Amino acid sequence: MSNAIFVVNAGSSSIKFQLFSVDGDGECRRLMKGGFDGIGSLPHLFAADGDQTLIDQTWEADEIDGVSDALDEVVKFVRAYSSGDLPIAVGHRVVHGGPDYSAPTIVNEAVLRQLERLVPLAPLHQPNNLAPIRLLLERQPHLPQVACFDTAFHRGHAEIADRYAIPEDLYVEGIRRYGFHGLSYEYIAQSFESLAPELVGKRVIVAHLGSGASMCAMMGGRSVESTMGFTALDGLPMGTRPGQLDAGVILYLVDQKHLGSGALVDLLYKKCGLLGLSGMSNDVRELLASTEPRAKMALDYFTYRISLFAGMLAAAMRGLDGFVFTAGIGEHAPSIREAVIRQMDWLGVELDPDANEQSALRISTRDSKVGCYVIPTDEELMIARHTWRVVTQNVEKSVWELRA
């Protein structure tokens, strides 16, 4: 397993992981994927190689003391699977790179401290993304770790797209629009050549629709505009996040409802979005199955806002050639896709109902002025590719310096 890359995506009560082998040409091949969920309640480690289960083990709640113990069990399993070998590097999804990190980077103590300062900008994601990095730095200090940022893909925006209409000193400090889900968008952009070559070099909107949701305008495979901004609260309504919200609402909640910062974080990250609108669930599958009027209203609001932002992103590119659905909802909910496309017919999108129901690659008619597609995303593969590139470039650089 000398050329293995381990990919980690850690949350508050779960750790998702995948293991990749890398061939001589730098191509990454997935060996297995798994997760450790139920941390703090019913700890459960599972992993599979395709359809073959490799491990499926549970513990009592008090036997696994947080992410630290869970990560120990994951590492123990991966080493056993790899005949005792550690991977050559670990790649991590890190939601926020702030103004200083526009590309994947090897993490040391100094880098980690800088990333920890960004926790207030992504309070649900950043601390959980960074926890395994700190643990591995302490326990395996010589094992290279690479942070891959969800903000990096958007860092090439024009200044006019990244600015807020606020004083210069706040912009310099780093209060600007960053955009997120960049690893997903980058993978989709790279997939055009093999899956939809007619989109290469074109004006494309990609809708990453999952529990977290955003949209990205791409020209020539590069991000030029995004629905998300300074934090992952902006833009589309999400499972439990409100999306676009008048800042005056926050002022009202502080001044009139006397909500402190902790209560605001809890409200905006955990109680809004589809959950807040429906009053019953943040899961689109449950809402689609429900006959409750508020469930229908929540979904109508979701699809309305997607089509609304599509107009904004098309305006940023002064036209539109393609539209791509991806992520959990985008890939698996034909009725959501249909509702969005019906509201986008003014842009020249014509739906092929049969293709949409089958979740085909192209779900628009051949006569449609704008091609519409369903492309599954693969953020973990993107992380593995970045990790291999960064680690090998670092090794080559070190060898060159020694020779010099």
Burial 103-140 (b: 16+ CB within 10 A, else e): ebbebeeebeeebeebbebbbbbbbbbbbbbbbbeeee
Q: For residue 146, give the 3-state DSSP assignment.
A: strand
Q: Rounded to an integer, what distance in angstroms lies between the CA atom of residue 43 and that of residue 52?
A: 21
User: What is the secondary structure of 54-123 as a DSSP string?
Assistant: EEEEE--GGGS-HHHHHHHHHHHHHHHHTTTPPPSEEEEEES--TTT--S-EE--HHHHHHHHTTGGGST
Q: Rounded to an integer, what distance in angstroms lies between the CA atom of residue 291 and that of residue 287?
A: 8
Nearest residue to 3 via CA among 18, 24, 17: 24
The four Cα atoms 277, 281, 285, 290 give a dihedral, to 10 degrees, of -80
Burial 184-200 (b: 16+ CB within 10 A, else e): bbbbbbebbeeebeebe
Out of 23, 25, 150, 378, pick the active-site residue: 150
The pair of structure tokens assigned to 244 is: 């676009």
Give the H/E segment covering residue 214: strand 213-219
Question: Do the beta carbons of residue 182 and residue 153 sit within 8 Å?
Answer: yes
Burial 298-316 (b: 16+ CB within 10 A, else e): bbebbbebbbebbeebbeb
Helix axes 379-403, 182-195, angle to 10 degrees: 90
Q: Rounded to an integer, what distance in angstroms lies between the CA atom of residue 231 and that of residue 254?
A: 19
Q: Rounded to an integer, what distance in angstroms lies between the CA atom of residue 245 and that of residue 235?
A: 8
Known active-site residue 150: yes
C-alpha atoms less than 13 angstroms from C-alpha of 354 in its C-beta half-sphere: 1
Largest CA distance in the chain: 71
- Amino acid 92 reads H
Catalytic center residues: 150
